[in-house]
Amino acid sequence: MKPHIAFLPSPGMGHIIPLFQLAKRLVIQNGFHVSFLVNTTKASAAQHHFFNSAAALIPDLNIINLPPADISTVINQDMRIVTQICVMNRESIKSLKPILAELNPISLIIDIFTTDAIDACKELSIPVYSFFTASTVLLTFSLYLPTLDREVEGEFVDLPMPIEIPGCRAMRTVDILDQVKDRKNAEYDWYLFHVSRLRYVAGIFLNSWEVLDFDRVKTLKENPFYRKIPIPPVFPIGPLIKEDETLTEIDAEIFAWLDNQPCESVLFICLGSGGTLSSKQLIELAWGLEMSKQRFVFVVRKPTDASASGSYFTSGGNENDPSTYLPDGFVEKTRGIGLVVSSWAPQLAVLRHFSTGAFLSHCGWNSTLESLVHGVPIIAWPLYAEQRMNATMLVEEVKVAVKVEAEEGEEVIGRRTVERVVREVMEGEKGKGMRHRAKELGKSAAKALGIGGSSIESLNRVVDIWKSQV
């Protein structure tokens, strides 16, 4: 009899993809049966495309759509993104208990925003594990957040000094994730609620590996503060990223162009599945690219002046003609040296292409891992959530990135700043050093996931527990 595990991710590809990759690994490499529960409420086009693709058709991995919840009376457009996600999850999870009772898995794997499932699982005596899909930097901060909440009055961003996180580097207040910058907003309460419940799970999976996060993993396991909380065992099992993508005819045009470019000469610009720039910022970025004279693939979506996460629930959808919101003549003037792609591109395939030399990224954790696995250095352009802390870690600790920031007094990052940083990474000695470091990390990631590797052995410790329960 095969061990049966259930998964419950939040909406958003940054949550779905890593949990799905773990589900695939358990099925293909460990002989498990998996039920993958999908929140269909307000699902994006990218989510529909992912679950309808050939990559999602795997024997012994059953995709189960939760009934869409009526959120018309509990969600409004004034709510911030995490509040919307958490409310949607809570409403959708109301149908979870009878589904789990019928499935009867030996464990449920959740993510950070589906901890409401812990209550139903407790009633059914189903152990719960959390797959923390973001960075270990965020996890150490998040586990410290309840203490900060008790001990600090006022806003964290107003603290005069960086925040001292036990066993870790101090964190500048400007880098803390957006969800805790306004303690009066409901988004803060939701985030605090979910991270406070991590101590109730049986274990926490990390989408990282020992070489990348050795000091923080050691801190989580040994530091007196975290032992006193106490936190459950942590298991670095990454990097778990997409292994393949379904390519379209439009994608074929991208790779035909890439095939004709010199090795490591192309800058790939993509700000995640949900990130958007303001109209003014998009124009400055485009001008900077043109001025740099560097080859590029630019994934561009219609700008919005409302929110940097404005495309979170609409990712993967069709967009307007980019020439209508890029600078006049940009597409024509850069034709040949650059390629403009509307809305979406097969990021994984582009990053592993021989002609890709750097990645201008929002530093979401999935994108960061995909870049490092394929040895590609990063121009860090964080937009929202925890991306600023990820960017700082990549620049100051891992040394595979350079951060692009607005000059003092500037409202947006100017074109000359973009030009300078792009040239520095694509042509300069600093870029060569980052590229070498990224390739070394890529090799260590492959080793961690190989036979006897640290991440495989870490996952096997939990697999052995599950198999003993059958």
Full DSSP string of 395-458: IIII--EEE--PPTT-SS--HHHHHHHHHHHHHSHHHHHHHHHHHHHHHHHHHHTSTT-HHHHH
**What CATH number does the domain containing 196 carry?**
3.40.50.2000
Kindly state the tokens that stand for 125.
């005596």
Model pTM above 0.75? yes
- My answer on whether 388 and 404 are in the same domain is yes
Q: What is the pLDDT of residues 11-29, one digit of tens each?
A: 888 899 999 999 999 999 9
- My answer on whether 212 and 253 are in the same domain is no
| Tally of domains within the chain | 2
Has residue 217 been placed in a domain?
Answer: yes
Has residue 41 been placed in a domain?
Answer: yes
User: Contact at 8 Å (CB) between 289 and 269?
Assistant: yes
Q: What is the pLDDT of residues 319-345, one digit of tens each?
A: 568 988 999 999 999 999 999 999 889
- My answer on whether 430 and 463 are in the same domain is no
pLDDT, greater one: 444 or 50: 444
Q: Tell me what pLDDT residue 352 has.
A: 96
Query: What does the mean pLDDT of the chain come to?
Result: 94
Q: Tell me what pLDDT residue 54 has.
A: 67
- My answer on whether 54 and 187 are in the same domain is yes
What span, in angstroms and rounded, lies between the C-alpha atoms of 277 and 417? 16
pLDDT-derived band at 45 (thresholds 50, 70, 90) equals: confident
| Domain ranges, residue 379 | 249-445
Q: What percent of the chain has pLDDT over 90?
A: 86
Has residue 414 been placed in a domain?
Answer: yes
User: Contact at 8 Å (CB) between 236 and 394?
Assistant: no
Q: Tell me what pLDDT residue 380 has.
A: 98
- My answer on whether 427 and 307 are in the same domain is yes
- My answer on whether 22 and 87 are in the same domain is yes
pLDDT at 421 over 70: yes
Has residue 125 been placed in a domain?
Answer: yes
Sheet holding 266-270, edge to edge: 338-342, 295-300, 266-270, 356-361, 378-380, 401-403
- My answer on whether 185 and 287 are in the same domain is no
pLDDT, greater one: 251 or 249: 251
pLDDT at 191 over 70: yes
Find the Cα–Cα–Cα–Cα dihedral 314, 317, 321, 322, rounded to 10°.
60
- My answer on whether 343 and 220 are in the same domain is no
Q: Tell me what pLDDT residue 160 has.
A: 96
Q: What is the mean pLDDT of residues 218-234?
A: 96
Kindly state the tokens that stand for 120.
């139903």
284 φ, ψ to 5°?
-65, -40
Has residue 428 been placed in a domain?
Answer: yes
Q: What is the mean pLDDT of residues 257-263?
A: 98
- My answer on whether 69 and 218 are in the same domain is yes
pLDDT at 308 over 70: no
- My answer on whether 264 and 219 are in the same domain is no
pLDDT-derived band at 312 (thresholds 50, 70, 90) equals: low
Has residue 244 been placed in a domain?
Answer: no
Going by C-beta distance under 8 Å and a sequence separation of 6 or more, which residues neighbour residue 31?
2, 3
Report the candidate in 194, 204, 202 with the shortest Cα–Cα distance to residue 131.
Answer: 204
Has residue 120 been placed in a domain?
Answer: yes
Least confident of 47-56, 389-398, 401-410, 450-459: 47-56
Q: Tell me what pLDDT residue 219 has.
A: 97
Which residues make beta-bridge pairs with 62?
35
C-alpha pair distances (Å), 1 with each of 88, 124, 316, 399, 460? 35, 21, 39, 47, 18
Has residue 243 been placed in a domain?
Answer: no
In 3-state terms, what secondary structure has residue 46?
A: helix
pLDDT at 221 over 90: yes
- My answer on whether 435 and 305 are in the same domain is yes
- My answer on whether 54 and 126 are in the same domain is yes
Q: Tell me what pLDDT residue 315 has.
A: 52
Residue 194 annotated as catalytic: no
What span, in angstroms and rounded, lies between the C-alpha atoms of 146 and 194? 10
Residue 149 annotated as catalytic: no
Q: Which one of 4, 33, 111, 353 is the catalytic residue? A: 111
